[in-house]
């Protein structure tokens, strides 16, 4: 640490006790005393600051999720109280606490005079019974005295990773094409039948003499029956 003792004290023996006191004061840690440096103050002092600035309890402290939101709420405390009772103050405190809310006044939805609605998206944080009561009490703290909360719509969307099971089914069909096979054959046409029968006849003719036939003439005849027709021929042979 740099010694910032004035030269007037450091160079004069008579003032050496004051110089030593100056050095001791320089070694004192002043951070615990700088409580209004909200980003640097010790976390143990935050509840005391919230109580002093009137943001403890129902005025938002119960809904603050974590140290960062508590510090932010303390820094916004003076401005919130300055505009307390206005729509802006309600919207501001909801945004400070990480609540995504939409405020609708009665003349925007043709409702009863001096009534309003709030639509809150609580996705990712959920809402228990104690948190719901703290939320209603906080809204009562920041609304104006004549206005009434007609409806508080809460939307919760939970997103989780679900196991994904995938399956693939592949199928096919093999078709073989052969030439057409005829199971029955029909043939149409005239049916003709034929038959043949043959035979041989031998006739011997002898020459005529006064006493009778002496020399011979041999005749051979044959006939053939073919397809219903009969033919006959004679062949002669002289002896």
Answer yes or no: do 39 and 141 share one domain.
yes
In a domain, 215, yes or no: yes
239 pLDDT higher than 50:
no
Answer yes or no: do 119 and 214 share one domain.
no
Answer yes or no: do 146 and 211 share one domain.
no
**Residue-wise DSSP of the chain:** ------HHHHT-GGGHHHHHHHHHHHTS--GGG-TT-TTTS-GGGHHHHHHHTT-SGGGTGGG--SHHHHHHHHHTHHHHHHTTTSHHHHHHHHHHTT-EEEEEEGGGTT-STTEEEEEEE-TTT---HHHHHHHHHHHHHHS-TT-EEEEEEEE-----------------------PPPPS------------EEEEEEEEEEPPEETTEE-S-EEEEEEEEEETTEEEEEEEEEE-
Answer yes or no: do 149 and 223 share one domain.
no
- Of 97, 121, 155, the residue that ends a domain is 155
As a whole number of angstroms, the distance between CA 115 and CA 148 comes to 5
C-alpha distances in angstroms, 42 versus 32, 37, 71, 96, 209?
Answer: 7, 10, 11, 21, 180
In a domain, 233, yes or no: yes
Look at the chain and report how many structural domains it folds into.
2
Answer yes or no: do 62 and 120 share one domain.
yes
> In this predicted structure, what is the pLDDT of residue 108?
92
Nearest to 92 by CA among 55, 57, 133: 55
- Of 135, 155, 175, the residue that ends a domain is 155
C-alpha distances in angstroms, 209 versus 203, 204, 205, 215, 237?
Answer: 19, 16, 12, 9, 19
Beta-ladder partners of 232: 223
> In this predicted structure, what is the pLDDT of residue 183?
67
In a domain, 210, yes or no: yes
Q: What confidence category does residue 201 fall into, taking pLDDT thresholds of 50, 70 and 90?
A: low
In a domain, 143, yes or no: yes
> In this predicted structure, what is the pLDDT of residue 194?
72
- Of 155, 176, 209, the residue that ends a domain is 155
For the segment 62-96, what is each residue's pLDDT rounded down to a tens digit?
888 889 999 999 999 999 999 999 999 999 998 88
In a domain, 67, yes or no: yes
In a domain, 217, yes or no: yes
User: What mean pLDDT is predicted for residues 101-118?
Assistant: 91
Are the beta carbons of 69 and 97 closer than 8 angstroms? Answer: yes
In a domain, 7, yes or no: no
Answer yes or no: do 147 and 210 share one domain.
no
148 pLDDT higher than 60:
yes
Q: Which domain holds residue 94?
A: 34-155
204 pLDDT higher than 70:
no
As a whole number of angstroms, the distance between CA 105 and CA 184 comes to 92
In a domain, 206, yes or no: yes
């Amino acid at each position: 640490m740099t010694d910032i003792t004035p030269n007037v004290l450091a160079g004069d023996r008579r003032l050496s006790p004051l110089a030593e006191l100056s050095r001791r004061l320089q070694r004192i840690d002043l951070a615990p005393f700088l409580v209004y440096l909200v980003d640097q103050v010790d976390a143990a002092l935050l509840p005391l600051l919230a109580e002093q600035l009137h943001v403890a309890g129902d005025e938002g402290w119960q809904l603050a999720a974590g140290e960062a939101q508590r510090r932010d709420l303390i820094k916004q405390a003076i401005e919130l109280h300055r505009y307390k009772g206005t729509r802006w103050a309600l919207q501001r405190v909801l945004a400070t606490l990480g609540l995504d809310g939409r405020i609708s006044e009665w003349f925007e939805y043709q409702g009863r005079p001096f009534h309003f609605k709030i639509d809150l998206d609580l996705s990712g944080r959920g809402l228990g019974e104690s948190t719901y009561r703290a939320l209603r009490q906080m809204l009562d703290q920041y609304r104006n005295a004549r206005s009434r909360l007609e409806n508080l719509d809460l939307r919760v969307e939970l997103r989780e990773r679900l196991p994904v099971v995938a399956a693939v089914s592949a199928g096919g069909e093999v078709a073989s094409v052969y030439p057409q096979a005829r199971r029955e054959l029909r043939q149409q046409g005239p049916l003709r039948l034929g038959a043949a029968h043959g035979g041989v006849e031998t006739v011997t003719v002898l020459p005529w003499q006064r006493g009778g036939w002496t020399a011979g003439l041999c005749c051979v005849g044959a006939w053939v029956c073919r397809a219903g027709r009969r033919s006959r021929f004679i062949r002669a042979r002289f002896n």
